[in-house]
């Protein structure tokens, strides 16, 4: 990749203000500024142009992985992360760079109006450079977006597995949705910690909201029950519907002496009796 001509750098420096304004207009016309504050985008435009001009003025190579491009890469990584948090997609984020092509090309056409061969060469060089910067932006955006999605999934898992104190010494964990290894691990950690914090003697796992029970789900439940018992507490599984009971029998699954109940009310009644408590209806 050839270096940019000195006349190219001089033309870009002289036209920086016009480049900035034309770039902003291109971004706004494309809809890439939606959900973003105008002053923030204008500040990013100004900062990026200064970084770009500074690197090119020092005669840096167009290998954007080189050390001299570190500040520019960091800027684009921060921008990508901010755009991901703002709910923009990869196309809108990458267009931050691509929208600069039009203003840059117009500037170079004016500069090399009488030198078509040199114009073609410089357009190719600047186009390749902007493409590389845009691809770096897309890659970092995807990583940021994946991190956001992963965090949201973890937060949803936490919200979908609340540990509820039903009575002194009795905890309940209502399960909703499909059980997998990651969720089981989170459930186990949350429930065991609550057992330690509250000193509870009985934990009720309610699977009314679990759509199906197969061999894998049963194994996850057994692991959780075993861990609860190792903590010195007992476990009751409630919400075993007729369809689930039939499935367990059909699969030949062995719940290894785990106490099960049809609903949470029956499980709570059993837990209270094990604690030596009796609930009676008062007469008014």
Question: Which pLDDT score is estimated for 284?
Answer: 65
Residue 153 predicted with pLDDT over 80: no
Q: Please list the alpha-helical segments (H only) found in 160-263.
A: 181-198, 215-230, 242-251
Nearest residue to 156 via CA among 181, 129, 131, 186: 186
The CATH architecture annotation of domain 6-157 reads: Orthogonal Bundle (1.10)
More confident residue, 255 or 232: 232
Same fold, 6-157 and 164-274: no
Query: Among the CATH numbers 1.10.620.20, 3.40.50.970, 3.40.50.10440, 3.30.750.24, which is that of 164-274?
Result: 3.30.750.24
pLDDT tens profile 176-215: 777 777 677 777 888 888 999 999 999 999 988 888 777 7
Q: Is the dihedral of CA 65, 69, 71, 73 positive or negative?
A: negative
pLDDT tens profile 1-51: 456 888 888 999 999 999 999 999 999 998 888 888 899 999 999 999 999
Q: What is the mean pLDDT of the chain?
A: 86
Question: Which pLDDT score is estimated for 88?
Answer: 83
Q: Tokens standing for 44? A: 């990013």
pTM for this predicted structure: 0.57
Annotated domain spans of the chain: 6-157, 164-274
More confident residue, 159 or 275: 275
201-235: buried (b, 16+ CB within 10 Å) or exposed (e) per residue? Answer: bbbbbbbeebeebeeebbebbbebbebbeeeebbb
Judged on CB neighbours under 10 Å (0-12, 13-18, 19+), 197 is exposed
């Amino acid at each position: 990749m050839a270096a940019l001509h000195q006349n190219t750098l001089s033309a870009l420096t002289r036209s920086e203000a016009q480049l900035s304004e034309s770039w902003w207009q291109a971004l706004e016309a494309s809809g890439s500024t939606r959900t973003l504050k105008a002053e923030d985008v204008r500040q990013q435009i100004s900062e990026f142009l200064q970084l770009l001009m500074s690197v090119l003025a020092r005669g840096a190579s167009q290998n954007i992985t080189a050390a001299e491009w570190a500040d520019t890469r960091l800027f684009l990584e921060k921008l990508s992360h901010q755009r991901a948090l703002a709910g923009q997609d990869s196309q809108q984020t990458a267009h931050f760079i691509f929208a600069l092509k039009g203003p840059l090309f117009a500037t170079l056409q004016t500069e090399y109006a009488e030198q078509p061969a040199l114009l073609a060469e410089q357009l190719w060089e600047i186009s390749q450079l902007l493409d590389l910067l845009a691809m770096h932006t897309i890659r970092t955006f995807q990583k940021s977006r994946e991190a956001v999605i992963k965090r949201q999934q973890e937060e949803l898992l936490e919200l979908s597995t609340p540990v509820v104190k039903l009575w002194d010494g009795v905890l309940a964990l209502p399960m909703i949705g499909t059980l997998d290894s990651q969720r089981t691990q989170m459930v186990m950690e949350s429930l065991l910690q609550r057992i330690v914090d509250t000193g509870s003697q009985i934990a009720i796992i309610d699977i009314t909201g679990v759509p199906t029970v197969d061999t894998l789900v049963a194994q996850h439940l057994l692991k959780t029950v075993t861990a609860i018992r190792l903590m010195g507490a007992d476990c009751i599984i409630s919400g075993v519907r007729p369809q689930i009971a039939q499935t367990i029998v059909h699969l030949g699954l062995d719940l290894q002496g785990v106490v099960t109940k049809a609903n949470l009310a029956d499980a709570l009644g059993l837990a209270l009796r094990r604690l030596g408590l009796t609930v009676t209806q008062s007469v008014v």
